[in-house]
Amino acid sequence: MSGILNAIKVSAAGLSVQRAKMNAVAENIANAETTKTKAGGPYRRQSVVVSESREKLKFSTLMQKAGSKLRRTNSKHMTGVGQTASGSMEISRAQWKTERAAKDAFKLVYEPSHPHADENGYVKMPDVEIITEMVDMMAASRAYEANTVAISAAKNMASEALDI
């Protein structure tokens, strides 16, 4: 039963990451024309960077442990792979952070009548491309949907196991 709970835990972490990505995309779209922020310059595009937690076991270690369990079920499984120490698999929550783009990534647009134009008539516009943001939103939405389907499947498996 712990395998089903681990599957739900992994999918829940995926939901959190995809929600953070959708929030970053929504903020980028909302500020696509913002030429002046509280910091003083134009808005900088945000992106979410996901990485594994350094405190927990690495993914390769978890795969080796899973492989050793498979090897014990049948002698023909995973031939040539060494036996690893057994232990409980602990799924760590993915770590993510929001990063802003580089300072010099702004687009210069010639618009001398704009209130934030420089002495040459150019305005620094945010580095946000609406099409890129929409593609990112669609990808995050699909990944979010896939995680909800995985949670639903795990819940159905647990329910069916209890009915046996």
pLDDT value at residue 69: 58
Q: Is residue 108 part of a domain?
A: yes
Q: What is the pLDDT of residue 18?
A: 93
Spans in the chain with pLDDT lower than 70: 1-2, 52-60, 62-104
CA-closest candidate to residue 123, choices 112, 131, 133, 139 = 112
Q: Are 107 and 124 in contact (CB under 8 A)?
A: yes
pLDDT in tens, 143-163: 999 999 999 999 998 888 888
Whether 6 is covered by a domain: the verdict is yes
Query: What is residue 144's predicted lDDT score, i.e. its pLDDT?
Result: 95
Flag whether 71 is in a domain. no
In a domain, 123, yes or no: yes
pLDDT at 90 (0 to 100): 41
**Both structure tokens of 94:** 């993915």
* Number of domains into which the chain is organized: 1
Measured CA to CA, the distance from residue 153 to residue 144 in angstroms comes to 14
Q: Which domain holds residue 112?
A: 2-56+91-163
- State pLDDT tens for residues 94-104: 455 666 666 56
In degrees, to the nearest 5, what angle opens at C-alpha 150 toward C-alphas 53 and 22? 60
Position 123 scores a pLDDT of: 92
Question: What was the pLDDT predicted at 76?
Answer: 59
Residue 70, in any domain of the structure:
no
Asked, for residue 150, whether it belongs to a domain, the answer is yes
74 falls within a domain: no
Residue 76 forms part of a structural domain? no
